[in-house]
Amino acid sequence: MKTSVIVFPGSNCDRDMAVALRNATGHEPTMVWHKDSALPDDLDLVAVPGGFSFGDYLRCGAIAARSPIMRAVVDHARRGGLTLGVCNGWQVLIEAGLLPGALMRNADLKFVCQDVHLRVEEVQNPFSRGYQAGQIIRVPVAHHDGNFYGDEDLLDRLEAENRVAFRYVDANGDATARSNPNGSARNIAGVLSENRRVLGMMPHPERLADSALGGVDGSVLFEALAA
């Protein structure tokens, strides 16, 4: 499997993402600088990593989404190419118009950096098919603007189309206000595109993809992509 990781000024999870992809696929991902205008040929997956691209100026992900490489990323996604955006990467994919809704300042205004429990809501897609439906996993989050917003019509549509990939829950699997680290609508932690080939998520699976990091709940996602 051929993968690429996009690197913006201010990306800081790009190398973690590359390690997770390399371990799962057995091949070194190509790191692609934001000023490049083309992706490698025959690419299977593009990952847009976490970080603070362009210092979060204007809105998180707004400037990155207009950088030259993003035209190629949008083309790749529109052709059905696998596209994963984690944390700032999800913000970038939303700003680029590949995923719906918006990610706003956390409801309590604080930067949140902790492990959260997620319920895997949806396994009929290339990203989370390695998990059991309803499985509870534990993955770190670290963000200031992860408060997923959509109007009621959008939220209902995402649920009806089974496009909510992950939801913030407590250790028992209940989606409560306390288990919601950022105020996201309906505890939504990750969203799939209509064709289920693009996933945006706030939690960081690449930070829990090696037992040396304290767990491997995240590596299931990368192994499913590579399988």
Partner 1 sequence: MKARVHVTLKNGVLDPQGEAIRQALSTLGFEGVENVRQGKLLELDLAEGDPASAKERVEAMCEKLLANTVIENYSVEIS
Q: Which residues bind partner 1 (CB under 8 A)?
A: 58-59, 62, 66, 95, 100-102, 104-109, 147, 149, 151, 183
CA atoms within 13 A on the CB side of 166: 29
Contact at 8 Å (CB) between 144 and 105? Answer: yes
Contact at 8 Å (CB) between 86 and 166? Answer: no
Instruction: Pick the closer one to partner 1 by CB: 4 or 91.
Output: 91
CB of 167: closest distance to partner 1 in angstroms?
19
204 is catalytic: yes
Structure tokens at 9: 């000024």
CB of 186: closest distance to partner 1 in angstroms?
14
13 is catalytic: no
Q: Cα(168)–Cα(202) distance, rounded to whole angstroms?
A: 10
Instruction: Pick the closer one to partner 1 by CB: 15 or 66.
Output: 66
Active-site option among 95, 121, 122, 206? 206
CB of 57: closest distance to partner 1 in angstroms?
11
Task: For residue 92, give the H/E element and its range.
Answer: helix 88-95
Instruction: Pick the closer one to partner 1 by CB: 82 or 164.
Output: 164
CB of 7: closest distance to partner 1 in angstroms?
21
206 is catalytic: yes
CB of 118: closest distance to partner 1 in angstroms?
23
Instruction: Pick the closer one to partner 1 by CB: 155 or 209.
Output: 155
Which residue is associated with the tokens 């057995």? 26
Strands (E) across 49-111 are located at 82-86, 102-104
Instruction: Pick the closer one to partner 1 by CB: 22 or 105.
Output: 105
SS3 helix, strand, coil % of the chain, rounded to 5?
Answer: 30, 25, 45
Nearest to 193 by CA among 101, 58, 129, 118: 101
Residue 51 amino acid letter: G
Active-site option among 60, 76, 87, 117? 87
Q: Cα(220)–Cα(18) distance, rounded to whole angstroms?
A: 15
Query: Which residues carry out catalysis?
Result: 87, 204, 206
